[in-house]
């Protein structure tokens, strides 16, 4: 069976404990939630950190605590920091890259979000990509719109990343790209034309989470993404009990498609990362 990288986005900027008490907010909660997800089959963790009042934070000290806990309790797991997210000062979004996580998310263009413009101007994108290259951090390119694929291509041409980036299509953010299967097909066609060596995955927001996982697996994606950042429910009337529960749903989807969860070692190989220390 071909392995698939299960990425778990444990926290994000938006869901609060009042929305779902299972959302991990303190570094200790985040490490514990990641460990459960790791045991359930996740090989990559996507991390945002929060201040004590749950507002989004860029504090490298918080990122460091989560990174340290994951390294200790989840051997080999790929650590990916977010450089995006709402409510953060743009100038501070790359502050934690000095900690050299394995990967960091990188949005290559701007897009409308539910209540804000998610601004990723060309200068900021270049700055973040330059800092990632300087610290040996592999980017995961976040595609919120078709033009963002071309934004990624420009970074390759500028020598800021190699020709085999890992790309994630994000579908179902309100005011941005709708979660429609034919749109995933169009995006994937364009990615294969513009960056034929790229590996890819897709994220569906809210009730689209499992739907997008299915569409991605149907098209042979290298990975899938789940987690409470994107979706806090397992059904219309039941909240997810943990990130691990969402990972188990992803694992079941893999099974239906004749795939299995990649081990951390396999995931590293697939995404062009060095083996863990």
In the complex, the residues that contact Zn ion under the rule CB under 5 A are 82
Residues 6+ apart with CB under 8 A from 59: 49, 51, 95
Cβ neighbourhood burial of 186 (10 Å; 0-12, 13-18, 19+) = exposed
Closest separation in Å from C-beta 163 to Zn ion: 25
Closest separation in Å from C-beta 152 to Zn ion: 17
Helix/strand/coil for 39? helix
Do residues 139 and 103 make contact, with C-beta atoms less than 8 angstroms apart?
Answer: yes
User: Which CB atom, from 43 or from 82, has the smaller least distance to Zn ion?
Assistant: 82
User: Which CB atom, from 82 or from 201, has the smaller least distance to Zn ion?
Assistant: 82
Closest separation in Å from C-beta 46 to Zn ion: 5
Closest separation in Å from C-beta 48 to Zn ion: 5
Pairing of strands 78-81, 103-107: parallel
CA 17, CA 134: separation in Å to the nearest integer? 36
User: Which CB atom, from 143 or from 259, has the smaller least distance to Zn ion?
Assistant: 143
The residue sitting closest to Zn ion, measured at its beta carbon, is 82
Tokens 């950190």, residue?
49
Q: Kindly state the tokens that stand for 146.
A: 């078709």
User: Which CB atom, from 82 or from 120, has the smaller least distance to Zn ion?
Assistant: 82
């Amino acid at each position: 069976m071909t392995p698939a990288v299960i990425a778990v986005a444990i926290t994000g900027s938006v869901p609060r404990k009042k929305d779902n008490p299972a959302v991990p907010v303190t570094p200790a909660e985040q490490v514990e939630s990641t460990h459960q997800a790791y045991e359930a089959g996740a090989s990559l963790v996507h991390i945002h950190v929060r201040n004590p009042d749950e507002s989004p934070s860029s504090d490298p000290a918080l990122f460091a605590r989560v990174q340290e806990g994951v390294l200790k309790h989840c051997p080999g797991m790929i650590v990916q920091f977010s450089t995006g997210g709402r409510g953060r000062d743009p100038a501070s979004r790359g502050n934690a890259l000095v900690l050299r996580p394995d990967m960091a998310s990188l949005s290559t263009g701007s897009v409308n979000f539910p209540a804000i413009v998610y601004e990723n101007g060309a200068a900021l994108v270049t700055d973040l990509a330059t800092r990632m290259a300087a610290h040996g951090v592999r980017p995961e390119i976040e595609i919120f719109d078709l033009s963002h694929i071309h934004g990624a291509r420009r970074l390759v041409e500028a020598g800021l990343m190699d020709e085999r980036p890992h790309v994630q299509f994000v579908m179902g953010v309100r005011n941005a790209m709708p979660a429609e299967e034919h749109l995933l097909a169009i995006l994937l066609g364009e990615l294969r034309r513009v960056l034929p060596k790229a590996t890819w995955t897709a994220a569906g927001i809210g009730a689209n989470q499992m739907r997008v996982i299915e569409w991605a697996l149907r098209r042979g994606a290298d990975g899938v993404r789940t987690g409470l950042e994107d979706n806090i429910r397992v059904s219309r009337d039941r909240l997810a009990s943990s990130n691990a529960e969402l990972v188990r749903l992803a694992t079941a989807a893999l099974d239906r498609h004749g795939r299995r969860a990649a081990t951390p070692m396999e995931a590293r190989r697939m995404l062009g990362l060095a083996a863990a220390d």
